[in-house]
Structure 1
Amino acid sequence: MAFTKFLLKRLVNYLVLAFIATSIAYLLAAWLLNPQEVMYPPTTQGGRPIPPEVQQAYFDLRNINPDVSIWQRYLNWLSDLFTNPWDEKWLIAFEGVGG
């Protein structure tokens, strides 16, 4: 019984630490990285600039819109992490990768 309690405490401890580390990494990335600098698709298509509405929709879909506060994006990310199906996330995240 004592060994099971010990293992359970360790598991909870590791889950809390993983959550804290992941949250810090997300917040640092959201604060330091500028999605407009490395936008995919590029800001021009065939020599024409992409309209700002299309860029905003692209950013909103991926939850990287710089016009939305970091805390709101973090809360959106947390709620998506626990409520949305993972298959939809992977399809959006890897759109265009691999062919």
Structure 2
Amino acid sequence: MKKFTVTTAAAAALTAGVLGLASPAQAAPTGGSAADTISSLEAQGLRVIVTRQSSTPLDKASVVSVTRGPSTPQSVPFATSQGDGSRTVRSQTVYVTVK
């Protein structure tokens, strides 16, 4: 019974961790245009995907929402003194809706 309780608790913790990754991104920078917000997010190293709700230019558009997307792992090769190797780099995607 004790083993079942520990397993259940571990599963619950892992589920909470996964759901936590799907939460909204940190608050978008306030003030300024959608272009400023997008530039700021890209400067943080985030991959930004923009969804437009109007044809307003980005420098005059406002941000409706910023949502954190998946974190994507990518294997990057690099050379070492002992031969070639690779390391995993994660990139974070953020979806920005503008109007």
TM-score tier (shorter) = 0.3 to 0.5
Which structure shows the bigger proportion of residues in strand conformation?
A: 2
- The structure number with the bigger radius of gyration is 2
Which structure ranks higher in relative contact order (CA pairs < 8 Å, sequence separation ≥ 6)? 2
TM-score by length of 2: 0.40
Give the structure with the higher percent helix.
1
Q: TM-score normalized by structure 1?
A: 0.40
